[in-house]
Amino acid sequence: MKTFILLSAIPGSGKSTWAEQYRLTHENVFVVSSDEIRKELSGKYQNFDHEKEVWDLYQQRINYYRDNFDNVTIIADATNFQNKTRMIYAPVEGFDKKILVVIHKPIKDVLDNNKKRNENKIVPEEVVLRMYRLWEEPSEEVLSFFDEYQRIDGWFDAPKVDESYTYKD
């Protein structure tokens, strides 16, 4: 079975932590992260000088894992905080199951969490606040493209991530 999981949340909500916890507790999981691709291309998570290349590679990697593995779960780790960006992935083909995972947390908690990140991953507070103001709940149209919708309210335990060497950066 080929499963596609699209994450949706503002920075500091725990998308990457959720993805890493899922990867560590399930088999054949690949996480495609826009932040990791930015770091790979420029050496920095917050360098937005190569966005076309970032998103081309993002899509290429999703397609590569889909096309080259039979029993696979691919997690698309990016903010996708508005319906227009979620719709980019709604018509994605070649998957037996598509899941939308939305993570909601109080803005105070998100801002506190953002400050506790590795200094290279901290998103400027004004950017987080702007994204929070522009946040959209998934529309009925978006939801119609997914087989499953999971909404995570508040914090979640991620004990495997705490043990993971690869997550610590």
Dist CA 80 CA 85 (whole Å): 5
Query: At residue 42, what is the residue type?
Result: S
Q: Residue 166's pLDDT is what?
A: 57
Q: What 3-state DSSP class applies to 105? A: coil
- Scan for tokens 């899941």, then name that residue: 99
The single-letter DSSP state of residue 120 is T
111-129 exposure pattern, b = at least 16 Cβ within 10 A, e = fewer:
bebbeeeeeebbbeeeebe
Q: Tens of pLDDT along 107-153?
A: 999 999 899 888 888 899 999 999 999 999 999 999 999 999 999 99
Cβ 81 vs Cβ 136: under 8 Å: yes
Half-sphere exposure of 145 (CA within 13 A, CB side): 18
> Which residue positions in the chain have pLDDT lower than 70?
158, 160-169
Residue 121 phi/psi, 5-degree rounding, is: -105, -5
Considering only CA atoms, give the Rg of the chain.
15
Q: What is the average pLDDT value for the chain, to the nearest integer? A: 90
